[in-house]
Structure formats: C-alpha cells, structure tokens
A and B are shown apart, each in its own frame.
Chain A
Amino acid sequence: MCERKAPRDFIGPILLALAEHNPNIVLVDADFRVASKITSFQDRFPDRFIEVGIAEQNMMGIAAGLSTVGYIPVVSTIATFISRRACDQVTTSIALSGLNVKLLGLYAGLFVGKNGASHQSLEDIAIMRAIANMVVLQPADVVETKQMLEFAVKYHGPVYIRIGRDPVPQFLPDDYRFQLGKSINLRDGNDVTLISYGDLLEETLLASDHLAKKGVQCRVINMSSIKPIDEQAIILAAEETGGIVTVDNHNIYGGVGSAVCEVVAENKPVKVKRIGVRDVFGKSGTEEQMRKKFGLTAMDIEQVVLRFISQRNHHENKSIFNDVIN
C-alpha cells in the first residue's frame, strides 16, 4: 500500500538539514558512517564530522567534551555498542552531568541483517532507561524519526534514540508531531490494549486488524517515548480496556513491557502479557526467520491476545469472547 522506508536511511539527510540552521550540531562517528548513511553530512560539513575509529568508549568522552564547549554532538553507532560497550562512559562522562549529547543506537533489536547475537541489542532499553537523566525514545517510522531528531537537538540533555535497521511502512500521518512523554493511538478499541513501538508496530497492527475481523477491538498504542513514558495513556488503557499486551523488540526483562508493568502495578493493576524475546540471545537470520523463531509474527501476537482475553474472561467469569476462541 504505502512505500516502505528505513528510518536509518534518513538520519543523514535529516541531521544535515538541521545542521544547516544550527552551527552547533556536530557528528561523531566510530567507523559506522557508511552503514548509518551519514556520509552526506560529512561531505557537506567535514569540519563538523569527527571520525574516532572503532573506539566507542573514547567516542562518548569526546562527545562529552565537545558538549561542554557548546556543541550538540550526535553520536551514532550500533545500539549495543552504545548501551553495552560504552555503558560506563555514557553514564559517568555524559549522563551524570546531564551533558547535551545525542546518542543514536542503530540496528536496535533483533533485526541487524544477519549479524547475530553480538550485534543485537536486546538489553539497551533496560540499560538506558535505568540511567538517570537519560531520555529514551524509538521512532516508529521516518515521519517520527524526523520529529524526534528535531526534538533531540532542541532538548538540552542526554537523549538516546534507538532506531531499527530495516524498512517499515509509514505508521503516522504526515502532520504528526512528537511530544516527549506522549504516546499516540494507532487503533482505537476498548477490548484490550496492545502497546508496541518501532518496527514491531507493523506485526502488532496486522494482529490488531485480524482481531478486529474476529470482533476484538484492540487499542494499539505507539509508545515511542519510552522514558519518560506516557503514564496517563497506560492508566487510561488499563481502566478502559482492562488488560494490556506489550510487544517488545527487546528482552522481556527491562523493556517497554516491564515499564508498562511498573506503571499499572503502581496505579491501576490489571493483567499484562509481555511479548518479546524471552531471555535468550538472538541469532543470525532474516527478519522473517527471527520473527518466527522468537514468536513475534502477527499470528503469534494474535494468538497471545486471544488467549489473554480468554483467560481474563474466564477469570472474570465472562464468556463474551468464548465464541471468538472457538
């Protein structure tokens, strides 16, 4: 229906456009510029492009130092190398003093070409949202990527944006405006809520549309502001739909599913089912193979939601959805 685009293909052009009007934007790269497609920026602003080689820890410190001189360093590399490899540098050199550094974690989640476990960031949300002062975001599509990068360079303080590798459809309208701490409903419904973000929104929406045909009206929330998270929307979903299924391209421990559980447990306890990678490492493979292996296809999501509703109704001694299951 609509053209598929990979958010990472647009990072270079978006930053370039922002940098034309903001002389403080500088890019710091650890030999990933070809994959992250930011070479157009390097061509246009060679003096504002700093190549540090394959040395992510040093890269974080250099970015921290640049920020103290008034620059807005945008650091980009594979999400694992920001969150896992350079975790202490991100924490002590950048976050501790709230320095104005923007971290773009690319190839976030399972889908990293066929690079496999060493390159798959299934822990980065857990790590980054546990670091004080850090904002954690993941755009759904190219529209939201542009909005988030515009936000990030205006916001003063450290921001981590995790970005998927592969093309996705456009989920959001052209006039969408990102707001920190706000989510957006992509489907309205009151039977159950599905919360996801980034590339798995596609499977989540497919599942929701199948379920709608079976009479189950799902509310689908794009939780792109992972920290701060949209507590109001989660509480409202708990109140109005009575149960939440989360879909994480991340380990179920510490991902958005965990964040949602924290909010409902403190405010409006309802049942939550977390879909995601169930505490195992990833594998090399195609996107399709991985979605199947880790139970992240639309069909998997649909089955989980149906079971979730059935159990909930059984528990509540209701039977309105039993015919859907049978």
Chain B
Amino acid sequence: MNDIRKLEDIANRVRINVVKMIAHSGIGHAGGASSIAEILSVLYFREMNIDPTNPKYEDRDRFILSKGHGCPALYAIFAEIGFIPESMLWTLHNIDSPLQMHPELGLCPGIEMSTGALGQGLSAGIGMALGARMRKKDFRVFVLIGDGESNEGQIWEAAMSAAKFKLDNLVVIMDNNKFSLSDRTQEVMPLEPMTDKWASFGWFVSEVDGHAVPELIQAFENVRQRKGKPSIIIAHTMKGRGIPSVENKAESHSISFTVDQTSETLYALGCSRDQVTRFIQKIEEKK
C-alpha cells in the first residue's frame, strides 16, 4: 500500500514540475506530459532495473519516449531519480540546456534515443531488444508511444518486425489519451479497434487505466510472465490530466500558461498557498 502511495506521490510531483517547468519556460507540451506521469512513475520507481547513481549502467533496462514531446515529464522523473539536479529543470527549452523540447541522446543523462519526429522510437527499441538478445543480456526495453503517433506507418513496420523477432524483452506502453495536436484522434484519424490491431500483428495486448498505479503495476507483472511475443499495454489516459483549464482538451497539447492558469493548476495539484506564491514570484521576477 505504501508503495502505491509513494508512486502516486511521485507522479503528482512530476505533474507539478511539468507545470512549473512549462510555466517557467513560457511554452511547452503540457498535455502529453501530464498524461504519462503515472506510467513513468511505475516504470522508473518499480518496474525497471536502473541504477540511480549511474544512468549508463550497462545492464539497465532501457526506456524510449517515442512520443518525444512528452519529455518534460521524463526530465521531471530524472530529477526525482537523481540523474539530473532539480535546478536543471528550470533550464527547460533554453538554447544551451540539455533539456531540449524533444529529447536528445547524448545531451541529457537517461535519454536513450533522440526522438520527437513521431513514429521512430519503437524501431530503435527493437534494435536495442535485438542487441540485448545478441549480447545474451537480460535487460528489457520499454517504449512509450502515443495513440496519435500511431498514425505513422513506421509504427506498424516496427510492430510487424518485433513480432517476427519474437521480442519478449520488449514492452510497449501506449499513452492512449485520445487526442493528437489538432483534435480527437477519432476525428483526425480513427485508430480503433486498437486492441485487435496489435493482437493481429502478433502482440500480447492488455488494457489499463493509465492513471491507476495498481493497475499499471499489475499489467507490468503480467507482462513479465509472457514469453515468445512482444507485449503492449494500452494505457487509457487523459490528455492534460490535472490541468483544470485544458484537461481532456486538444488545447492542452502545447500551452503558454497564464499566471492565473499556473496558480489554478498548482492548487489543483495540491500545492500550498506558500508554494504557489513563491513560484509565481519567481516567474514574475524572470520577466
């Protein structure tokens, strides 16, 4: 129980930091970052084998954020782990910052692949999973993709090949937040039936509430038992989760927070009056 509470707290802190980072930077992809907070919390603080003191630990499990624009949440997780100092979060999107708007391998510790051009991360994950098998290593590869991202043909090229190679050391999590940049994915390009599609491509498929930590924990437990095929966990999430003004709206995709929006969101996420006031002062001073 404590463990679940701890993971939920981490997810909440990630969401708070996502909002603060983006408010501080002036603009950012808040919607697709806030929808993945619980997924990242469960992965990095429970499921994945990592060494908090060494992001390059050779036998670490790999994580690729294929929907690269969600990276404010990943950077916030890295600060929770200690891969980067929390002070670095306030450099988000600065020209010389390791925290670019889309993750860049080699710039920021913990980033395993450069992403941002959608549809590409899963292929790289397949290369890593094949590499693990060829090197007779036990590490696993986790790739987080978006539902909108799955419009890209490369996702399905990759889906086909992971099944061919029987990569049971590869786990995909789909952040199924039902929106892409412009509108509902159902309007932009219908994706259903998603479960049938992946199953017919030769994958183990499961579905969870992507904001429910216990469900995520159980889904990852189940995946560990599945052999001979790659697995996908379709996580039903909400774009802009926790940001009252844009929650479950396409407008959450890229946001320039107003002061009012910032304080409203931070209060909603449980920050104290003192914390909110101090933060608002900080960004006012920056101006």
Contacts and interface: CB of A to CB of B under 8 A. Distances in A.
Given A52-B161, A89-B154, A92-B114, A66 B128 contact: yes
Nearest to B127: A65
Interface string B103-121: 0111000001111110111
A235 B161 CA distance: 49
Given A66-B128, A69-B128, A69-B132, A61 B158 contact: yes
Interface residue tally of chain A, by bracket? 20 to 34
Contact of A58 (B115, B116, B123): B123
B161 A64 contact: no
Contacts of A179: none
A50 B123 contact: no
Q: Mostly helix, strand, loop or mixed at chain B's interface?
A: helix
A56 B135 CA distance: 24
Contact of A65 (B128, B135, B164): B128
B125 interface: yes
Nearest to B143: A65
A93 B120 contact: yes
A284 interface: no
Given A68-B128, A69-B135, A89 B105 contact: no
A68 B157 contact: no
Which of B106, B120, B124 counts the most chain A CB atoms within 10 A? B124
A92 B123 contact: no
Contacts of B113: 64-65, 68, 93, 97
Interface residues of B, number: 34
A50 B124 CA distance: 14
A55 B164 CA distance: 13
Contacts of A89: 117, 120, 123, 154
A41 to B, nearest CB: 15
Given A57-B153, A61-B158, A97 B126 contact: no
B131 interface: yes
B128 A57 contact: no
A64 B115 contact: no
A98 interface: yes
A48 interface: yes
A62 B131 CA distance: 9
B145 to A, nearest CB: 12
Q: Mostly helix, strand, loop or mixed at chain A's interface?
A: helix
Contacts of B122: 61
B233 interface: no
Which of A48, A60, A96, A97 counts the most chain B CB atoms within 10 A? A96
Contacts, number: 110
A98 B154 contact: no
Nearest to A50: B130
Interface in B126-164: 126-132, 134-135, 137, 153-154, 157-158, 160-161, 164
B57 to A, nearest CB: 14
A47 interface: yes
Contact of B158 (A26, A58, A64, A88): A58
Contacts of A70: 131, 135
A89 B113 CA distance: 12
Given A88-B117, A92-B115, A64 B123 contact: yes
A71 interface: yes
Contact of B127 (A48, A61, A91): A61
A63 interface: yes
Which of A48, A88, A92, A98 counts the most chain B CB atoms within 10 A? A92
Contacts of B112: 68
A61 B116 contact: no
A65 B161 contact: no
Interface in A42-98: 47-48, 50, 52-53, 55, 57-71, 73, 88-89, 91-93, 96-98
The 4 closest A-B pairs by CB, nearest first: A65-B127, A61-B123, A69-B131, A58-B157
28 contacts: A52-B157, A53-B164, A55-B160, A58-B123, A58-B161, A59-B123, A61-B122, A61-B123, A61-B124, A61-B158, A62-B123, A64-B113, A65-B123, A65-B126, A65-B128, A65-B129, A66-B127, A66-B130, A68-B62, A68-B124, A70-B131, A70-B135, A73-B127, A92-B120, A93-B114, A97-B106, A97-B113, A99-B105
Interface of B: 62, 104-106, 112-117, 119-132, 134-135, 137, 153-154, 157-158, 160-161, 164
Interface of A: 26, 47-48, 50, 52-53, 55, 57-71, 73, 88-89, 91-93, 96-99
Given A58-B158, A61-B121, A93-B114, 10 more contacts: A52-B157, A53-B164, A58-B154, A61-B154, A63-B127, A66-B131, A68-B105, A89-B123, A97-B113, A99-B105
